[in-house]
Structure 1
Amino acid sequence: MTTVQSDSGVLAGDPRMLIDGELQLTGSGAMFDVIHPASEQVAGQVTDGTVDDMARAVGAARRAFDTTEWSRDVEFRYHCLTQLHAALERNKEQLRRITVTEVGCPVSLTGAHIESPIEEVAHWAELGRKFEYLEDTGLHDAIGGQTRRLIHWDAVGVVGAITPWNVPFYLNIAETTPALMAGNTVVLKPAQLTPWAGSELGRIVAEETDIPAGVLNVVTSNANEVGAALSADPRVDMITFTGSTATGRAILAAGAATVKRTLLELGGKSAHVVLDDADLTAALPMAATLACVMSGQSCVLPSRILLPRSRYEEGLAILQATMEGFPVGDPWDPSKLQGPQISAGQRDKVLGLIASGIDSGARLVTGGGVPPEFPTGYYVQPTLLADVDPDSQVAQEEIFGPVLCVIPYDTEDEAIAIANNSIYGLSGQVSSADEDRALKVALRLRTGSANINGGQHFGLTSPFGGSKQSGLGRRNGVHGFQEYLELKTLGLPAN
């Protein structure tokens, strides 16, 4: 049910949600619009699910977990996810066009949005098939003698997945496929601004795989209370969520009554500590680039650049040159690497935070507004703010836009203190000519991850998550798979 809207490449996704194996519209027929951020035009519509629809989806997931063999049949799960991988591969160009349509992501950067998550499905299928769900830990001393103990990894149960709009298809896959391969059933609530990344996944599952009815459900809705109902439903055993820290707090509160397990990847305000011996020509162009790709809509973006005062103006000049030459424009143009913000509201938030930074004493080096050549579309200029007060709003709040805040420092200890001066602790970065020195600084950052001299911490085989108010738990790696499993210890006679 996907439809091409025009010759521009804009593609409308499936308007239906998936509940208990059936692709369907909400009972009232209510729909809501999906806006293409580059044109500000309605690209299509999707069904506007209700709290009652969510309750039906949760009921279907509960029944599928409690009454079928899904949680116990690893080979069948492997078969279904292998089917899903092949189906997504067949549909990837359609998914790519839908992604550019509803996110505004430049088409040249959609590999991380499309190819990477498709391969992730195969990764989780293989990892889940090989995982040792029953481990014999041998003999242990116990009262009255010895006992033999086993550890069994059980599926948690019904998992509610609430996903954001910045990389929606990737996160829909990242929050559902490891949960499914671990034996759980899932209810996915995709973001309101990017519902087709979820509804298309539901369509593909229903039409092109043997995943049983109720195992994966997708409920699209423009109402906040629908996601809240998923978080609070006592039939849901676990919530996995990526998004703002404020929403993460609400999810924790909603799940408290039933002591739900929560896996939360929340906000970030990462710092890039550039030490005084660093090669600025190697470190800073990439720092500016990272601020602009995805229009700055990335949780791990090192949006605070800490420069030694002795090399401050030198570093600013490099950042300015990169940002002023960065290719911004129509996301359908392969030469462009920064598209629009996701919505008018997000654009206005970014512009408001830039203004607040200037009001608090920051110096505007470049950018700061809407590109005059793009009066239509939710565009923001690549923006560089210097002399930023480390305690100011713009230095403390996650901007989620193409904005870098540059802060000077005098000593290494001062730089580390500034980097750790945040409620967040998702990621960080350190640059230095001396790798051992950089490592020592990175180890002092209160973050869940850090890159050193351009190294990459993020990947399917390594755990990823945050400290402080950047989240709970980890995605990726064996640790990430185990998040969707419960430990059961069994005691047996020694002989």
Structure 2
Amino acid sequence: MLPSLSGTAREPPARPRAAPGSGTGRAALRARAGAGSGRKGAAMSGRFASVNPATEEVVGEARDGTPADMDAAIGAAREAFDAGAWSADPRLRARCLRQLRDGLVAHASELRELTVAEAGCPVFLTYGPQLDAPVADLGWFADLAESYEWSRDLGVGAPMGMTSRRTLLREPAGVVGAITPWNFPHQINLAKLGPALAAGNTVVLKPAPDTPLVAEFMARIVQQETDFPPGVLGVVTSSSHALGAQLVADPRVDLVSFTGSTATGRSVMASAAATVKRVFLELGGKSAYIVLEDADIGSAAAMAAFAVATHAGQGCAITTRLLLPRARFDEGVHAAARTLGKLGVGDPADPGTVCGPVISAAQRDRVESYLRLAVDEGGAFACGGGRPPERDRGFWIEPTLVVGVPNSARVAQEEIFGPVLVAVPHDGDDDAVRIANDSPYGLSGAVHGGDEERALAVARRLRTGTVGVNGGQWYGGDVPFGGYKQSGVGREMGVLGFEEYLESKVVATPHGGQ
């Protein structure tokens, strides 16, 4: 935990503020990542190692928070919301968010290297959704805090003969508990913090045990380079998931924003029900990439293959089912397999790498269990199917294409979270829509066709929160993201995501000659 961000009194740092660290190179990164910024006079909590999934080397050590740390962070957030100026001052919120954005930009080179080392993500992604894009989006939420219509005149009415003017007020929900996964740590952390803080809430962030260092780095920027008031943002890192459960159950928390597996999301929802908390859940996906009969099959299949190999398939919105026209199925499979074979795996620090390691040995073992299951279910591998033989260190899975299983197979129904694409034939548009919607999930999807209007007609029939047509990209801080069915509840980012963190209040006053 970073106690100074969760309620310890402090004076705003004098400008120019000190940077979170100095020096370059991985040794310096390890030193900075392992250096805490604890509360003066307080005993340090224990620490735990964060491991580079490409090399199995220790990147650094993070603070191993305790239940007492979490309790203190929640208490400080509660006090900051109830007694501080944060919730009532959009200009302060906007200024602090812009300071955070500017601080992250100033340390982008250090964060880029740390993110690649800790999350194992290909460095090219840090110039987009793994770092630069979500950092820039903080400015969009700062602008929204200043421009949002916080009150709206609903006009005059006369219910029960009492002429009254009605006004709709939008107010922050209160204390937000944010629980985030490891696959896109900056994007998901900031997609919660940006709108929640801009809306006037205070936040306690519990990042994943696999990627604590990037969260700690951000927290030190908040502490040292911004005017965030004490208690507004608490960051509690821990090697255990138990502190996330504590955050959800605490009655002082008004809203829980969780991104992770559907199984854990169910537990979050059940626990939050005890205190009737509002919940935002962004959960799993098994999204379909539909290729229509009039498409360029080779190009479309190659695009689907590239998508599933990106960051070793560790993205909830990645399309992991490839639906190909039956008459051209072999052509599509050949194109996808050829692309996956060329991509292979590589050092995530190499700018040319698309598929890096999976995050941990446990995740590698999980993916391998699904590969064995694919064979048990009657499937075969058009490419890949195991660990790359040339890699004796790190957690690697070859980009893999599974064929020969129906859409009802577990490997086609369950989220694997690895570089595994399952190809399934379809018999025309109606059948493709049926297969795509035959899933407990509904997070994302893609449609590729020669006639854009036809492709759009298919996209409109998909029960899913986002769809890319012919390569169109939906991602952006101003675009709401979320899913249907068991892919979640609510929307993140965009105005809709911002409003997830608001309450509505109607105030009526007498009007006219009563």
> Is contact 2:171–2:503 with CA below 8 Å preserved after alignment?
yes
C-alpha RMSD over aligned residues? 1.9
The number of residues matched between the two structures is 492
> Is contact 2:298–2:336 with CA below 8 Å preserved after alignment?
no
Q: 1:9 to 1:331 in 2, by over 3 A?
A: farther
Match of 1:61 in 2: 77
Q: Distance in 1 between matches of 2:498 and 2:57?
A: 40
> Is contact 1:5–1:43 with CA below 8 Å preserved after alignment?
no
Match of 1:115 in 2: 132
> Is contact 2:122–2:355 with CA below 8 Å preserved after alignment?
yes
Match of 1:155 in 2: 172
- Per the TM alignment, residue 460 of structure 1 is displaced from its structure 2 partner at its CA by 1.8
Match of 2:33 in 1: 14
Match of 1:165 in 2: 182
Q: 1:142 to 1:215 in 2, by over 3 A?
A: same
**Among the aligned pairs, what percent are the same residue?**
48
Match of 1:91 in 2: 107
Normalised to the residue count of structure 1, the TM-score between the two structures is: 0.96
Match of 1:472 in 2: 489
Q: Distance in 2 between matches of 1:408 and 1:24?
A: 63
- Per the TM alignment, residue 14 of structure 1 is displaced from its structure 2 partner at its CA by 3.4
For 1:4-403, what aligned pairs fall within 5 Å after superposition? 11=30, 14-15=33-34, 27=43, 29-111=45-127, 112-403=129-420
Normalised to the residue count of structure 2, the TM-score between the two structures is: 0.92
- Per the TM alignment, residue 462 of structure 1 is displaced from its structure 2 partner at its CA by 2.0
> Is contact 1:26–1:50 with CA below 8 Å preserved after alignment?
no
Q: Distance in 1 between matches of 2:126 and 2:61?
A: 22
Q: Distance in 2 between matches of 1:166 and 1:7?
A: 21
Q: Distance in 2 between matches of 1:12 and 1:141?
A: 67
> Is contact 1:232–1:254 with CA below 8 Å preserved after alignment?
yes
Q: Distance in 2 between matches of 1:463 and 1:385?
A: 32
Q: Distance in 2 between matches of 1:214 and 1:329?
A: 42
- Per the TM alignment, residue 23 of structure 1 is displaced from its structure 2 partner at its CA by 5.1
Letter in 2 for 1:369: G
> Is contact 1:12–1:44 with CA below 8 Å preserved after alignment?
yes
Q: Distance in 2 between matches of 1:263 and 1:162?
A: 10
Q: Distance in 2 between matches of 1:3 and 1:364?
A: 48
SS in structure 2 at match of 1:43: strand
Q: Match for 1:456 among 473, 483, 494?
A: 473
Q: Distance in 2 between matches of 1:475 and 1:118?
A: 15
> Is contact 2:153–2:167 with CA below 8 Å preserved after alignment?
yes
- Per the TM alignment, residue 388 of structure 1 is displaced from its structure 2 partner at its CA by 2.0
> Is contact 1:164–1:242 with CA below 8 Å preserved after alignment?
yes
Letter in 2 for 1:220: T
Q: Distance in 2 between matches of 1:68 and 1:16?
A: 30
Q: 1:257 to 1:401 in 2, by over 3 A?
A: same
- Per the TM alignment, residue 320 of structure 1 is displaced from its structure 2 partner at its CA by 1.0
Letter in 1 for 2:104: L
- Per the TM alignment, residue 391 of structure 1 is displaced from its structure 2 partner at its CA by 1.1
SS in structure 2 at match of 1:45: strand
Q: Which moved more, 1:452-461 or 1:361-370?
A: 452-461
Q: Distance in 2 between matches of 1:41 and 1:24?
A: 31
Q: 1:6 to 1:122 in 2, by over 3 A?
A: closer
SS in structure 2 at match of 1:75: helix
Structure 2: runs of 5+ lacking an equivalent: 1-19
- Per the TM alignment, residue 350 of structure 1 is displaced from its structure 2 partner at its CA by 0.9
SS in structure 2 at match of 1:437: helix
Structure 1: runs of 5+ lacking an equivalent: none
- Per the TM alignment, residue 300 of structure 1 is displaced from its structure 2 partner at its CA by 0.7
Q: Distance in 2 between matches of 1:108 and 1:371?
A: 22
> Is contact 2:24–2:110 with CA below 8 Å preserved after alignment?
no
Q: Distance in 2 between matches of 1:159 and 1:205?
A: 17
Letter in 2 for 1:332: A
Q: 1:303 to 1:12 in 2, by over 3 A?
A: farther
> Is contact 2:179–2:257 with CA below 8 Å preserved after alignment?
yes
Q: Match for 2:444 among 427, 442, 447?
A: 427
Match of 2:15 in 1: none
Q: Which moved more, 1:455-464 or 1:283-292?
A: 455-464
> Is contact 1:13–1:199 with CA below 8 Å preserved after alignment?
no
